[in-house]
Structure 1
Amino acid sequence: MWLPYGRGKLQVDLPAAARPTVLSAPNASPIADPDDAVRRCLHEPVGSPGLPELAAGRKSACIVICDITRPVPNHLFLAPMIKILLDCGMPRSEITILVATGLHRPNLGAELAELIGDPWVLDNVEVVNHDARDVADLVDLGVTPTRGTPIHLNRRFVEADLRIVTGLVEPHFMAGWSGGRKVIAPGIAGHQTIRTFHSHRFMADPLATQCNLDGNPLHEDQLDIVRAVGEVYALNTVIDDERRLLDVFFGDVLQSHADAVTAAARTSTISAERRFRTVLTSSAGYPLDKTYYQTIKGMVTPLDILEPGGTLLIASECSEGLGSPEFVAAQRELIARGADAFLDHLSTKQMADIDEWQSQMLLRSQRMVRIQLYSTGLSAEQQKLTGVEVIDDLGQGISDSLRRSGDDSLAIIPDGPYLIPRLAPQEHQSHS
C-alpha cells in the first residue's frame, strides 16, 4: 500500500495474511476546463448577481482565503476575481486579500507565494495575514443571540464595501463541513471568538461532528455571525484526492456553501458494511500532515467504523513538529493531569486556552481505541508529548494488531480525514 505522506508517498508492506478493505473516494471526473468553470461561476452565481454586477460602484473589496493548512486551488480563481474588480473600476489599492489564519501562524515568504499560487496577484494587490490577537484590528459586533459567543472580526473585512470569502468544502470533524461561513469564524475572528468556539461546551456536543450541520452548535453560531456581518459572498471549491477541481460555486455565502456541501458529500463520504478492529489511515499528506496538531483530525474521522478497543494506525510526517507552543503546553497538561482531570478542568472554562481544544479532540479517539502513530518528523521528546504510541514500522504495527484482535481483516483509508467512512445503517441498528 502507498499512503500520502508529506509531499510524497509512503510504502506500507502489509502482512501476507492480511485481508484489506481499501476505502477510497467514489469516482468523480475532474472538471476538464477549470478556468472556464471559474469564469462561468463568477458570471452565473447562485443566489446573487454575478461578480461584475456586484463590483459595480463598489469602492473597496476584501477577499478572504484559507491559510496554508488547506489545499485550496487559489491559483484558479484569485486572478480572475481581481481582474473583474479592476475592470469595474475598483482601484487596486482598495483590493485586499486577507489570509484566514484563525489562531495559526502567519504565512510569509515562499509559503505565501505557494499559497497564492499566482505571482501576478502578489504583484498587484495587498495580501495581509489575519491576526486574531490584534484587538485594534478587530470590530466588535456584539454576541450571537443563542449562545452568547462574542463576535469579533477582522476590521478590513467588516469595513470593506464588497466582502468575499473563498475556500474548500470538505468534511470537518467539528463544524460538519469546512468552507463558507467557517472562513469568517474562526478564520478571521478574534481570539475570544475562536476560543469560545473551541471551548468544552462546543467540543463535547455530540452534534458537533463531521458531516453534520443539523443542530451543530458551531454551524449555528457561524450562521449567526454571518448574519451579524451582513452582505457576504463566497466562492467554494470541491477537489478530489489529487487536488483536481470537481466543482466550484460562487454567490450568496450560505447558498453557495450549501450547494458545495451537497457536491462534496458525493465524493467525501463512503459506506462500510462492518466495523474493523484494525484501521490504517494517514493525515492526507502535505499540507495537513505538517504538524501533529492537524494530524489529530485523522484520528477522529474513522471512529464510526472502528470497533471499540481496536487499533488505529496513522501515518503523518509532522515536518513542523507538534504545532504551536500553546498546543504543546496543552499536551503537557493533558499528560500531567490525566484524561479525566484534564476534561474536568476544561469544562470549567468559558473560553478555551489557545489550541487546547485539539487535545480534547484527541481524547475522543484515545478513550475508544488504541492509537499508533508513524512519523519521521518528531524528536524523541516530542513523541512523548503526543500522548499516543509512536511506532517505527507500520507493517509490524498492523501485524501486531491483527494478532491481538484475532481477525486478519483491516480497513485502509489512504486519504485520512478527507474521506469519511460511515457504518451502513443496518449495522448501526444491530449495535443499538
Structure 2
Amino acid sequence: MNDTVNIAYGRGHLAVRLPDDAEATVIRKVTLPKLGDQTAAIRAALEAPIGAVPYSTLVKGRRSACILICDITRPVPNRLFLRPMIEGLLAAGMPAAAISVVVATGLHRPNEGAELAELVGDPWVLDTVRVENHFARDDDAHVDLGPTSRGTPVKIDRRFVDADLRIVTGLIEPHFMAGWSGGRKVIAPGVAHHETIRTFHSARFMEDPLAVQCNLVGNPLHEEQLEIVAKIGEVYALNTVLDEDRDLVHVTFGEVIASHLAAIEFIAESTAIAVPRRFKTIVTSSAGYPLDKTYYQTVKGMVTPMDILEPGGTLIIASECSEGFGSPEFRDAQERLVTLGPERFLATLKAKTFAEIDEWQTEMQLKPMRMSRVQLYTTGLGAEERRITGVELVESVEAAIRASIDRAGDVAVAIIPEGPYVVPVHAARS
C-alpha cells in the first residue's frame, strides 16, 4: 500500500501519496514539549529577563514605549504577549496615548482592517493603544543614524528611535539570509528605511557564502543588524519559539542581543537536522499559512534544503500562493529573470549599490536553480504569474515524484513537511 505524507499547505495540509517503490526519509524538527500554560510562561519570561531587570521594574518611570511586532507573514502569537506587556506599562503610570505598537513591515505591504485584527489577535489591544504600520518609503518618518562601517545608510522609524522604551517581538526560526529571524531583524529590515534595506539586500551581501540559514558567525547581514542596534541604543526583545502545531514551546525576554541568542541556543539543535546523505528527489513546502500566501515567500522553501540536494536533482515545492504572486517590484524582477536568463540577471545585480525592491528574493531563487530542477505545485497562481516564476509548474506532486525517481534512477525521496522551518544539514558537515 502506498504511504501518504501530509505536508503543510495553506491553512491545512496536502496529502501526498508516494509511489510503491519510493523509499521516503521524512525530515522534521525534533519534537519539543509544549508549555502547559502559555500565558504564565510569557509572564515568567517578563519577570526573569536575560541581561535586564524584571519587566515590572524596567517600565517604571518611562515616558513612552514603542513595541514592534512582525507582519502577517509570520505566525507570531501576538495575542499571548501584547496585552500583558501593555498592561504592565499602564500599571506603571504610562498613559495609553504614549504607547504605540508598530507593525514591522520592512518593504512588505501594510496590514490593515481584518488582517490587522488577525495579526494582533486581541481586540483589547486595538481598542487601548495605537497600532500602526511602518512605511519604509516615507522619508520623513525615519531618523538618520549615520552609516555602518560597511557603508550601509542607517535610517530607522522615528516612532521607535524616539521612544523612551523600545521593545521588539518576534519568532525565532531559520532565515535563509540572516541566519535566524527574530530579535535584531525585527528592527532592520523591519522598521528600516528603504535605502537601508536595499543596501544590505544587495548582491554583495546576498552572494556572500556566510549569508545562509542558521549561521551568524561572519554573516554580513547579521553583523550589519548588530551595528544598527548599537546605533539605536537601549533595546529589549521578546522572542518566541513555536512547534509544528504553532503552539508556544519557549519564550525569552531581555536585552535584544542576549535574549535573541538565548532563544537560538534553545532551538538550534531541534531545527538543524543532520541527514546522512543527499537526495536527487526532495519534496518540501512553503510551511503553509501565512508563509505560503505569496510566491515571493515561497522562495524561502526552495533555498532551505539545498544542503541535502544532489546537484542535478529535482526539488519539488508545494505552496498555495493564496494571495498570488507578491509585490509589483517582485513581479518586475521575475520578468527580468525570465527575459534575461539567470546569468545575465545576476550580472545586473552585481553592478548595483542599492538593490531594487524585492529583487533580492529573485536572486535567492537563483541559488537552487543553479544546481537543480525546481518544480512548483500551486493552486493560487494564474497563467501569467506561472510563466514568470521561472520554474517548472506541475499539476500533481505525486506525478512529479514519480518522474523524478525515473529520471534519477534512485528511489530515495526526502520529504520536508514543514518547509523552511526545518533546516536539513548533510551529516558530513555536522
Q: TM-score, normalised by structure 2?
A: 0.98
Q: CA deviation at 1:51?
A: 1.3
Q: Deviations over 1:241-300 (max 9, x none)?
A: 111111100000000000011112132111101001000010010000000000000000
Of 281, 287, 291, the match for 2:290: 287
Structure 2 equivalent of residue 16 of structure 1:
20
Of 101, 108, 111, the match for 2:105: 101
- In the alignment, the residues of structure 1 paired with residue 280 and residue 219 of structure 2 have an alpha-carbon distance, to the nearest angstrom, of 29
Structure 2 equivalent of residue 158 of structure 1:
161
1:62 is paired with a residue whose SS is strand
- In the alignment, the residues of structure 2 paired with residue 266 and residue 163 of structure 1 have an alpha-carbon distance, to the nearest angstrom, of 30
Q: Deviations over 1:140-193 (max 9, x none)?
A: 000112x11000000000000000000001100000000000000000000000
Quick check: 1:133 aligned with 2:116? no
Of 88, 91, 103, the match for 1:87: 91
Letter in 1 for 2:41: A
Structure 2 equivalent of residue 232 of structure 1:
235
Structure 2 equivalent of residue 387 of structure 1:
390
- In the alignment, the residues of structure 2 paired with residue 370 and residue 338 of structure 1 have an alpha-carbon distance, to the nearest angstrom, of 15
- In the alignment, the residues of structure 2 paired with residue 114 and residue 96 of structure 1 have an alpha-carbon distance, to the nearest angstrom, of 18
Of 69, 74, 79, the match for 1:75: 79
- In the alignment, the residues of structure 2 paired with residue 321 and residue 412 of structure 1 have an alpha-carbon distance, to the nearest angstrom, of 25
Q: Deviations over 1:390-413 (max 9, x none)?
A: 000110000000000001110000
Q: CA deviation at 1:129?
A: 0.1
- In the alignment, the residues of structure 2 paired with residue 288 and residue 143 of structure 1 have an alpha-carbon distance, to the nearest angstrom, of 32
- In the alignment, the residues of structure 2 paired with residue 154 and residue 52 of structure 1 have an alpha-carbon distance, to the nearest angstrom, of 26
Letter in 1 for 2:347: D
Q: Deviations over 1:198-219 (max 9, x none)?
A: 1000000000000000000000
Letter in 1 for 2:404: S
Letter in 2 for 1:49: V
Deviates most, 48-57 or 272-281:
48-57
Letter in 1 for 2:113: G
Quick check: 1:143 aligned with 2:147? yes
- In the alignment, the residues of structure 1 paired with residue 45 and residue 12 of structure 2 have an alpha-carbon distance, to the nearest angstrom, of 33
Quick check: 1:218 aligned with 2:221? yes
2:401 is paired with a residue whose SS is helix
- In the alignment, the residues of structure 2 paired with residue 348 and residue 274 of structure 1 have an alpha-carbon distance, to the nearest angstrom, of 37
Quick check: 1:188 aligned with 2:197? no
Of 329, 332, 336, the match for 2:335: 332
- In the alignment, the residues of structure 1 paired with residue 418 and residue 170 of structure 2 have an alpha-carbon distance, to the nearest angstrom, of 19
Q: CA deviation at 1:230?
A: 0.2
Letter in 1 for 2:377: Y
Structure 1 equivalent of residue 6 of structure 2:
2
Q: Deviations over 1:332-374 (max 9, x none)?
A: 0111111111111100100100000011000001001100100
2:190 is paired with a residue whose SS is coil
Q: What aligned pairs does 1:248-397 form with structure 2 within 5 A after superposition?
A: 248-397=251-400
Q: Deviations over 1:82-117 (max 9, x none)?
A: 000000000000000000000000000111001001
Letter in 1 for 2:79: H
1:68 is paired with a residue whose SS is coil
RMSD over aligned CA atoms reads 0.8
- Structure 2: gaps (5+ residues): none
Of 117, 133, 149, the match for 2:121: 117
Q: CA deviation at 1:42?
A: 0.6
Q: CA deviation at 1:330?
A: 0.3
Letter in 2 for 1:324: S
1:259 is paired with a residue whose SS is helix
Q: Work out whether residues 31 and 243 of structure 2, in 8 Å CA contact, stay in contact via their aligned partners in 1.
A: no
Of 424, 428, 431, the match for 2:427: 424
- In the alignment, the residues of structure 2 paired with residue 106 and residue 416 of structure 1 have an alpha-carbon distance, to the nearest angstrom, of 25
Q: CA deviation at 1:12?
A: 1.2
Letter in 1 for 2:211: A
Q: How many residue pairs are counted as aligned between the two chains?
A: 426
Letter in 2 for 1:242: D
- In the alignment, the residues of structure 2 paired with residue 116 and residue 398 of structure 1 have an alpha-carbon distance, to the nearest angstrom, of 39
- In the alignment, the residues of structure 2 paired with residue 179 and residue 5 of structure 1 have an alpha-carbon distance, to the nearest angstrom, of 23
Letter in 2 for 1:212: N
Letter in 1 for 2:143: V
- List 4+ stretches of structure 1 deviating above 2 A: none
- In the alignment, the residues of structure 2 paired with residue 209 and residue 269 of structure 1 have an alpha-carbon distance, to the nearest angstrom, of 12
Quick check: 1:243 aligned with 2:218? no
- In the alignment, the residues of structure 1 paired with residue 241 and residue 271 of structure 2 have an alpha-carbon distance, to the nearest angstrom, of 10
- In the alignment, the residues of structure 2 paired with residue 267 and residue 93 of structure 1 have an alpha-carbon distance, to the nearest angstrom, of 41
1:46 is paired with a residue whose SS is coil
- In the alignment, the residues of structure 2 paired with residue 108 and residue 279 of structure 1 have an alpha-carbon distance, to the nearest angstrom, of 37
Q: CA deviation at 1:26?
A: 0.8
2:146 is paired with a residue whose SS is strand
Structure 2 equivalent of residue 51 of structure 1:
55
